[in-house]
A and B are shown apart, each in its own frame.
Chain A
Amino acid sequence: MDRKEANSTDILLLLEGTFPYVRGGVSSWVKRIIEGFPEYLFGIIFLGSAKTDYGRSQPYALPENVNYFAEYFLYDEGNQPPAVSPGKLRLDVEQLHHAHVQMRACLQGEVCPLENYGLAENFGVSHAEFLHSPAIWDYFLQRYAEIPDQPPFVDYFWTIRGMHTPLWYLQSALQAAPQAKIFLSPSTGYAGYLGALLAARQNRPLIISEHGIYTKERRIDLLMARWIQEDEEFLRRPGQIHYLRQLWIHFFEFLGRLAYQQARHIVNLYTGVIPLQLAGGAPQEKLRTIPNGIGVETLVPARRPFSERQDVIALIGRVVPIKDIKTFIRAAALLRQQGRATQCWVVGPTEEDEEYFAECQVLVAHLGLQESVRFLGFRSVVEVLAAVRLTILSSISEGLPLSVLESFAAGVPVVSTDVGSCRQLLYGDTSAEGERPAGIIVPIADPKALASAIIALLDDEERWDRCSQNAIARVESQYREEQMFGQYRQLFTQALTE
């Protein structure tokens, strides 16, 4: 997208892998926040992986009140700095070593002083120097030698390179960023880290409004990553994690801690994540909970009684591993085995992880479900919710999923895995399970449980009615957009007057 320049803005959003390129829960939240506060000017710094990763998806149009937009692709290989003759590269490696020691202390819970810490300047090391300086190479070797259980050197080398390369893109983002009154990031990670550096430099408050727990999501990614060469070790110690995976996990933990430390407020969507945030280094007094809200009214037309709906269930979400679409497909196979003609839709963009999408299609073909499972791509949520009898969520990780709230607003009960705030959403705050249910909670990665929950709701219209009523009541009382806006308005005005 084209750059949009401004010297100053009110709220600078730091967005990593989401709005305006990627569709999903966080993106629509960002869009609603921008459009919900027309009185403020917004700036956006988008951080992406490689530019080519976002080529095919149609980006959101920027709302009127966005006056700054810049994008940085942290893993782009194209623009490497030119090689410099090593003679020119004399570096103070001592200082770097000291910084690394300090970072490790920070991971143990000590305070990392952001000011005078050199992070914003990458300790005066330029990207070219990092890539070509013999001193840095020697430091590589020195640190590698200290590892007790040495990974392949070539992997170590490229891991460290890959881990550090984004820092210089972030540095240029930092230098080019406009003056802002508030920095707002919906995640920790690189975006939160950049937010922390900006907030420290401009001495303005940083708000982290965490949708998923970034560090945990990266941990899942990394544990699933196949690119890390790992020897099949005989009798591996239980719980032992490959050194390079551990290194990445520590890296993201460190970024997270730094952002938490610098943030004025750390917002979560539901109380369930507070222990994780505390464990990630968030101070208790900065935490507050603002649940997602939705515009209930737009979905009222989708409310229909059971009998007027088709025999269809839908999973609304992106086709990515974290949504565990495969479990949904396996549950569809079980429904089919029982002789049911129930249609199973997957509604959401498929291009984000094409390899996973292809795997899903193979699974559908393999199980002979071409008739009953359909990938619809991106569709109007109102239309889908007016047609289906159940919404399914098979994710292995979630925050407070918008699709559940939308489903509730349309009076569609939900069968969901026990992740994020789903239990709270489906069963209410009351601990007495099933007192006012709006659906059924099942364990993750359990197609059998998922299938029987679906059948239980589809075969019991009375139960379906009760869930539908509870769903509407819950979303209208607790998860209205106005409530969310109200709390953010208070947060913003407070931060602006500081």
Chain B
Amino acid sequence: MAGIGFELRRILQRKSYLAMAEAYGYAGLVSSGPWLLSIFGILLLGFLAVGAPPAHGPIIQFQVSVTYLISVSLIFTGPLQLLFTRYIADMLFARQTRSVVTILLTMLVVATLPGALFAAAVLFFFFGGTPTLYQILMGVAFVELCGVWVLTIMGTSLKDYKALVIGYLLAYTLVVGLGLPLGRQYGLDGYLLAFTIGQLVLLLGLGILVMRQFPGFLQWPERQANRLFWSLSLVGAAFNLAVWVDKFWFWFYPSTSAAVIGPLRASPIYDVPIFLSYLLIVPGLAVFLFRLETDFVEAYDAYNRAIVEGGTYGELRSAKLGMILATRAGLWDIAKTQGITVLLAFAFTQPLLALLGYSESYARIFQFDVIGVSLQLLLMSLLNVYFYLDLRGRSVLLAMIFLLGNFFFTWVTLLLGPFFYGLGFLGALFVADVLGLYLLARDLRRIDYLTFVRVR
């Protein structure tokens, strides 16, 4: 399997600006494809459906329901994501491809069975007032999403971005295509039914894709070969929770939210700007994928080769410097790209909001959020570098700071009033990023010491 890095290099070898643009475009597409398509799909369905007058209520309920489904299922599978990503990476490194399918099925079971129990319990205790059909569809969609995240992680670990994008494209085309007629006919239940069908297709499609790449048997890989790093579980849980904790604050804080359906509440004043701004990290994500998958990974491999293949310390040191330079260049590029994006977003806030039909009162929160999500991207880059360096303690620390910071700072902004909304999210990420950059600079300077002495 040729990695994404290889394909990017191939495009770049044509050495022209167009090729460069193509490479970045491609990187942007594959890195942000899955969630971008999810958001676009749901928003598009909303836009198209609004044309039909009675649909406005149900479509809002649908969008809020899906948002909850996505956020809770992401948090729920968070502990699994990195844990298994690492495990599978180790397995692939040890060339135990025959057992990949076993791990995949284990993951699916570990994600969906407790997911089903969790969904049943939540529906039973909190959704008593909603229609039974709605409850069933919500439960099914939740379990499907848990499975979809597992397969998405799997596709990401296998660096099979293209297949992922195709899978998501198909599924959300189906959601929109089915959602319009079904929604017109059956309202909220119709939209949700379309969503569940789309997710089912996605689940099956991704499953087939992964299994076709790694045919194998149901057998456990050799025990000793791989380890489960439970600290990664903690990182996954903390990070996913951190990403959503400010939203939950706004959804359940009385003065910023309103009930939508059953126990689900939404905060239009916060939701619109933040989802809008997430669309603006696409350029940064493209750079992130591009830099990490090509330059950094190359430098990282060179460093490891210098160690394993018996280089002298001098050779090791120059490889280390190469890695530092690649990291620095990558982070700088992300910062520059997102910096420009932020500036443009600031400059065009008013026309942009007007174009999308949103009120100007979102402007300040939107501007805070654009900075916030850019900082989140930077944090993700830092975490990724730390995953490569295998300094898991650092990842735990940064994810925890993001989580605690976002929880407390957002709470404080709620107390301070509307002027500060969005600043909590931004502040938490700012603290985590500054600390992360400081630590990364220090750790990279003494990475040889860490490789030899600290890491087991």
Which residues of A line the B interface, CB within 8 A? 83, 131-132, 134, 137, 141, 144-145, 150-155, 157, 229
Contacts and interface: CB of A to CB of B under 8 A. Distances in A.
B94 interface: no
B2 interface: no
B425 to A, nearest CB: 32
Contact of A137 (B308, B311, B449): B449
A151 B316 CA distance: 12
A150 B449 contact: no
A131 B312 CA distance: 21
Interface in B285-336: 307-314, 316
A152 B453 contact: no
B438 interface: no
A14 B74 CA distance: 62
Interface string B380-417: 00000000000000000000000000000000000000
B223 interface: no
Contacts of A152: 309-312
Given A83-B454, A132-B454, A153 B313 contact: yes
A134 B453 CA distance: 8
A144 B313 contact: yes
Contacts of B311: 152-154
B419 interface: no
B308 A132 contact: no
B312 A150 contact: yes
Nearest to A134: B449
A144 B453 CA distance: 16
Interface string B1-23: 00000000000000000000000
Contact of B310 (A134, A145, A155): A155
A258 to B, nearest CB: 29
A445 B176 CA distance: 83
Interface of B: 307-314, 316, 446, 449, 452-454, 456
6 contacts: A83-B454, A83-B456, A134-B449, A151-B312, A153-B312, A154-B311
Nearest to A154: B307
Please name the 8 residue pairs, one residue from A and one from B, whose CB atoms are nearest each other, closest first: A152-B310, A153-B313, A150-B312, A137-B449, A154-B307, A229-B310, A144-B313, A137-B453
Contacts of A150: 312-314
A150 B306 CA distance: 14
Residue from B308, B452, B456 having most chain A Cβ neighbours under 10 A: B452
Contacts of A151: 312
B192 to A, nearest CB: 51
Contacts of B446: 134
Contacts of A145: 313
Residue from A131, A154, A155, A229 having most chain B Cβ neighbours under 10 A: A154
B335 to A, nearest CB: 30
A55 to B, nearest CB: 18
Contact of A153 (B316, B453, B454, B456): B316
A357 B446 CA distance: 46
Contacts of B309: 152
Given A132-B454, A145-B313, A153 B307 contact: yes
A302 B446 CA distance: 70
Nearest to A137: B449
Contact of B453 (A132, A154, A155): A132
B307 to A, nearest CB: 5
Contacts of B312: 150-153
Nearest to A80: B456
A137 B313 contact: no
Nearest to A131: B453
Contacts of A131: 453
Nearest to A153: B313
Nearest to A150: B312
A154 B310 contact: yes
Contact of A154 (B308, B314, B454, B456): B308
A44 B18 CA distance: 78
A151 B311 CA distance: 8
Contacts of B454: 83, 132
A154 B456 CA distance: 15
Nearest to B316: A153
B213 to A, nearest CB: 34
A82 to B, nearest CB: 11
B313 A141 contact: yes
B142 to A, nearest CB: 41
Contacts of A229: 310
Contact of B452 (A83, A137, A155): A137
A106 B307 CA distance: 33
Contacts of A155: 310
A469 B449 CA distance: 68
A134 B452 CA distance: 11
A137 B312 CA distance: 15
Given A150-B314, A153-B307, 8 more contacts: A131-B453, A137-B453, A145-B313, A150-B313, A153-B316, A154-B308, A154-B310, A155-B310
Nearest to B306: A153
A130 to B, nearest CB: 10
A153 B314 CA distance: 9
Contacts of A144: 313
Contacts of B307: 153-154
Nearest to A138: B449
Contacts of B313: 141, 144-145, 150, 153
A158 to B, nearest CB: 9
A145 B446 CA distance: 17
Contacts of A137: 449, 452-453
Residue from A131, A150, A229 having most chain B Cβ neighbours under 10 A: A150
A157 B452 contact: yes
Contacts of B452: 137, 157
Nearest to A144: B313
Contacts of A132: 453-454
B427 to A, nearest CB: 29
A289 B307 CA distance: 50
B197 to A, nearest CB: 52
Nearest to B452: A157
Residue from B311, B316, B449, B453 having most chain A Cβ neighbours under 10 A: B453
A152 B310 CA distance: 4
Contacts of B449: 134, 137
A157 B312 CA distance: 11
A45 B11 CA distance: 67
A149 to B, nearest CB: 10
Contacts of B314: 150
A144 B317 CA distance: 13
A155 B316 CA distance: 13
Residue from A137, A150, A152 having most chain B Cβ neighbours under 10 A: A152
A87 to B, nearest CB: 13
Contacts of B316: 153
A143 to B, nearest CB: 11
B261 to A, nearest CB: 51
A161 to B, nearest CB: 9
A151 B313 CA distance: 9
A423 to B, nearest CB: 44
A155 B307 CA distance: 9
A238 B310 CA distance: 24
A145 B456 CA distance: 25
A32 to B, nearest CB: 43
Contacts of B456: 83
Nearest to B314: A150
A229 to B, nearest CB: 5
A134 B448 CA distance: 11
A144 B448 CA distance: 14
A299 B414 CA distance: 98
A150 B314 CA distance: 10
A252 B22 CA distance: 63
A131 B454 CA distance: 8
A155 B454 CA distance: 17
A154 B305 CA distance: 11
